[in-house]
Structure 1
Amino acid sequence: MQRETNKEILAHRNVNKTIMMEGGDVYDCIDVSVQPTLDHPLLKYHKIQMEPSSVPVEESIKPPSPNGVLQAHLSIVECPKGMVPILRNNRMGHIASYITEQVINKDEQLEDPKTANWWLMYGEEKTPIGYWPSSLFSHIKDKGIFSYWGGFVQGPTASSDSAQMGSGHFASEGYGKAAFMRNIQIVDINNKLVTPNRHKDLLGTSDKTKYSIGGYVVDNHGMHMYYGGPGNLF
């Protein structure tokens, strides 16, 4: 059976606005209640949650050094209120969707123990981006047992054609070159954002000649680390 293209799938979903991004990506704004995500069998009776039912209480962390920290920013996709941007990608034959009005790239965190839905939020302002309904999970319906930070890349032949990770620089190249994460926190059983236990962590890389992790410390600015690598050098 021939798979429908995204354009055909979106045809009956009342596209309100179409946005062309600088890189060539096209987004269609459709009503949040008819987004393709809700076609999943496990979400047949799902009631959309428009905002988190609670926000974790944050522990006190000193601001970063006066030098500041470089922020990476995604292009903002803005749709009218009550609409969501859907990436139109016929070449890949799939649809990506966000349960949100716009996307902003900053620090991120997951939470929401009252509804058991897993929310994605960005920045010090805790801007809600969207969530993964708990009905999609079997082992993390109520809580997670571990957290993961770092990078993951995948290519057609990963063993012989490994892509670069992050900025393509090794962790040892440090600030301004290597990719990094800062102020790493988790939500504890009391719904508080806390720094992970430094004595329970496990550091590693699949291939030290291609990727590395370094600068992993906990100080007055929280937990932070550098990571990344060039993959195969040709």
Structure 2
Amino acid sequence: MATWNHRKAKLEYSIIVFVALCHMFSYVQVHARSFSSDKNVEYLAKHKGTIKTIQSEDGDVIDCVDIYKQPAFDHPLLKNHTIQMKPSYYPKGMKLEKIEAEPFQGYIECPEGTVPIVRAQLNNTRANLFPQRKYLPEAVGYNHEYAQVSVVDGNYFGATARLNAWHPSTFNGEISIAQFWILSGLGNDRNSMEAGWIVHPDDTQTRLFAYWTSDNYQRTGCYNLECPGFVATANQWLLGARLDPISTYADKQFEFYLSVRKDKQSGNWWLRFQDKDIGYWPGSIFTGLSDRAELINWGGEILNSKSGGRHTSTQMGSGHFPSEGFGKAAFFRKLASFDESGAEINAENVQTYVSRPECYDLEIPNKNKDVWGTHFYFGGPGFSDKCK
């Protein structure tokens, strides 16, 4: 009898361990399966240079494209471009400590020598999650609204921050964004590199994104790899991928590290997410940013379509005002720029801009600067008795 109980106990223990391991691996390993055709879903043609196609558990279809055949090299200024596989150096003191939330490390891993690119679905709203260019107010009748801080009139060679991820409610084709902008030039000569998270009303996910333009969003630029320009080097699917887990109100908070830094040897602007160098914008595709940036913004942005003749209910950040503080409001912390040597410089004397404080606001706390550096809370619910 004792032998039977002992065997039974070992069996039960083995089952518990097996279940625990299955749960753990379902959480942190690659969440993907080989792509198989679904008769109910139509996809655009696979990308040029595709070596392998993978379908995520969320239904996204990712082509693993030969790194030398990615869209970047269709750009007329990159025809003879030589890929830089990694930054030429990492500045001494560059803050690269890891975050505990490993699921931010990505979900799809392509074979070495390839880069992942999302394939759009036809007859599906998700095909339009990342339009080629950002919405322009004069073109579509949208108002952009902001809650942001800036450092101005300087010589900047990159920017960095840590920000927590949320999934604000969005409506009427509007989007909600938390990002930083690295800028140079004025008017139609405005150059911009942007990175952060984005939420679209036709999607149930919060996604990592990058964006660029060299002519103030007129004819150049796009999100992620939707047009020639950004050179991807990582074989993990990160740009356009969902961020999971995300922060929940009055509960767990999940943040990530994001930076863009100019490599002084190559002139390329490298995008880093957590401990991964995703790729870079070649300096040659820009005008002003071929040299340096003059302005950096960090903060939130929403589109307000004024549907029904009133202010939108699209939320910014967590959908709660910054006065609610940690665990309830969205934040950016450890704001910094990079100087020409690559050294990280804490953002001091930032200027604030809030377009409609009764709808979305921003607050810079005085405490915790020794741990959080320069930081701020931002966001709001949109439409209310005060925001009309």
TM-score range, shorter chain: 0.7 to 0.9
- Deviation at residue 74 of structure 1 after TM alignment: 6.8
Instruction: Map Cα deviations across residues 89-144 of structure 1 (whole Å, 9 max, x no partner).
Output: 24337684343122397211111222111111123x4x211111101110111211
Q: Higher helix share goes to which structure?
A: 2
Give the equivalent residue in structure 2 for 1:86: 117
Instruction: Map Cα deviations across residues 174-203 of structure 1 (whole Å, 9 max, x no partner).
Output: 11121111222111122211202x22x211
- Deviation at residue 172 of structure 1 after TM alignment: 1.4
The answer (yes or no) to whether the contact 2:318–2:379 under 8 Å persists in 1 is yes
Give the equivalent residue in structure 1 for 2:257: 107
Distance 1:131 1:122, change over 3 A: same
CA distance in 2, matches of 1:99, 1:53: 14
Aligned positions of 1:1-234 closer than 5 A: 7-8=44-45, 10=47, 13-58=48-93, 73=104, 75-90=106-121, 91-92=127-128, 96-97=224-225, 98-102=232-236, 103=238, 106-111=256-261, 112-123=263-274, 125=275, 127-154=276-303, 156-157=305-306, 160-161=311-312, 163-196=314-347, 198-199=348-349, 201-217=350-366, 219-221=369-371, 222-233=373-384
What SS does structure 2 have at the residue aligned with 1:184? strand
CA distance in 1, matches of 2:78, 2:54: 27
Q: Higher strand share goes to which structure?
A: 2
The answer (yes or no) to whether the contact 1:113–1:142 under 8 Å persists in 2 is no
- Deviation at residue 233 of structure 1 after TM alignment: 4.9
The answer (yes or no) to whether the contact 1:56–1:187 under 8 Å persists in 2 is no
- Deviation at residue 216 of structure 1 after TM alignment: 4.5
What SS does structure 1 have at the residue aligned with 2:354? coil
Higher relative contact order (CA 8 A, sep 6+): 2
CA distance in 1, matches of 2:76, 2:70: 14
Distance 1:21 1:211, change over 3 A: farther
- Deviation at residue 72 of structure 1 after TM alignment: 8.5
Unmatched segments (≥5 aa) in structure 2: 1-41, 122-126, 133-222, 226-231, 244-255
The answer (yes or no) to whether the contact 1:109–1:186 under 8 Å persists in 2 is no
Instruction: Map Cα deviations across residues 31-87 of structure 1 (whole Å, 9 max, x no partner).
Output: 1111122212222222111111122222689x9xxxx99898374221111111101
CA distance in 1, matches of 2:304, 2:105: 23
Q: TM-score, normalised by structure 1?
A: 0.79
Amino-acid identity (%): 35
What amino acid maps onto 2:289 in structure 1?
A: I
In terms of Rg, which structure is larger? 2
What SS does structure 2 have at the residue aligned with 1:73? helix
Distance 1:150 1:80, change over 3 A: same
CA distance in 2, matches of 1:54, 1:114: 9
- Between Structure 1 and Structure 2, how many residues are aligned? 219
What amino acid maps onto 1:101 in structure 2?
A: N
Distance 1:191 1:41, change over 3 A: same
Unmatched segments (≥5 aa) in structure 1: none
